[in-house]
C-alpha cells in the first residue's frame, strides 16, 4: 500500500478515537475542559506523533495532556499508542495551532511544551515561529499566572531568537541549555525523545532547551 494511501486511511480513522478532536469539526474549549476534569493541563504544540505528550503523561499520570498538530496522520500514531497503553489523561487536537488557541479559555493552561517546531529560518517567515511575539501574546492569555513554557529544538537560531523574544516581551528565562546531553545528568522530562529528536541526534546535532515564564 502506498504511503499516501496509508496517510489517508489513518486520517479517516481519527474519529474512531473519542479523545481525538478536529479544530474544524468537533473541537470546543468546553469539551476540553470536561476532559481535563479539574486536572492540571499541559499542551504540546506541533506534537507530531505525540512522543512528548505520551512521555509526560506517563511521568505525571495525575495531569491532563493535550497534543496539537495539523497533520492527522501523525496524530493517529500518537492516539494509537495512547490507546494501546491505556492512557486516560491524553487528548489530541488536529488543526492549526493559532486557531485552536483562540478558543481556549483565559488562564486554562498550566504548562506548554513546544517540541522541535518548524524554525521558519527566513526572516519574512518569523511571524510563523511558535515563539514569535504574536504567539507569545497568545500564550499569555491562556496560561495561568506563572505558567511555564518549554522549548526543545535542534535549531540554534530559533534558540537564540526565542531568548531575545522572551526578554523583549517582559518574560523571564528560567533555564537555557545549549546542549542538554552535555549537562551530565539529564532529568526525566528532558530525556523524552521525539521522532525528530532521534533523527537529529543520529546526525550529531545539538539539542537546545529553554524554559521560561511570561507573567
Question: What does the chain come to in residues?
Answer: 215
The answer to whether 78 and 47 are in contact (CB under 8 A) is yes
164 is in an annotated binding site: no
Domains and CATH numbers, the chain: 21-213 (3.40.50.150)
183 is in an annotated binding site: no
118 is catalytic: yes
pLDDT at residue number 203 = 92
C-alpha distances in angstroms, 6 versus 12, 122, 144? 10, 32, 39
| Digit-coded pLDDT (tens) for 160-187 | 999 999 999 999 999 999 999 987 778 9
0.95 surpassed by pTM: no
Spatial CA neighbour of 147 closest among 195, 206, 193, 104: 104
The answer to whether 130 and 97 are in contact (CB under 8 A) is yes
118 is in an annotated binding site: yes
Amino acid at each position: 500500500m502506498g504511503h499516501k494511501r496509508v496517510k489517508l486511511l489513518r486520517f479517516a480513522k481519527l474519529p474512531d478515537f473519542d479523545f481525538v478532536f478536529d479544530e474544524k469539526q468537533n473541537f470546543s474549549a468546553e469539551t476540553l475542559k470536561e476532559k481535563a476534569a479539574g486536572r492540571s493541563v499541559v499542551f504540546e504544540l506541533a506534537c507530531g506523533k505525540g512522543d512528548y505528550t505520551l512521555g509526560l503523561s506517563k511521568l505525571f499520570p495525575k495531569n491532563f495532556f493535550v497534543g496539537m498538530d495539523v497533520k492527522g496522520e501523525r496524530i493517529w500514531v500518537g492516539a494509537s499508542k495512547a490507546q494501546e497503553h491505556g492512557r486516560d489523561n491524553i487528548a489530541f487536537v488536529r488543526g492549526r495551532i493559532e486557531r485552536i488557541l483562540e478558543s481556549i479559555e483565559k488562564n486554562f493552561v498550566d504548562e506548554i511544551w513546544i517540541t522541535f517546531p518548524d524554525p521558519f529560518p527566513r526572516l519574512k517567515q518569523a511571524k510563523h515561529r511558535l515563539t514569535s511575539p504574536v504567539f507569545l501574546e497568545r500564550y499569555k492569555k491562556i496560561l495561568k499566572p506563572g505558567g511555564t513554557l518549554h522549548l526543545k529544538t535542534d535549531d540554534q537560531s530559533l534558540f537564540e531568537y526565542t531568548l531575545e523574544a522572551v526578554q523583549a516581551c517582559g518574560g523571564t528565562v528560567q533555564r537555557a541549555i545549549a546542549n542538554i546531553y552535555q549537562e551530565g545528568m539529564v532529568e526525566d522530562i528532558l530525556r523524552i525523545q521525539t521522532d525528530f529528536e532521534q533523527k537529529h541526534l543520529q546526525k550529531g546535532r545539538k539539542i537546545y532547551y529553554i524554559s521560561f515564564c511570561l507573567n
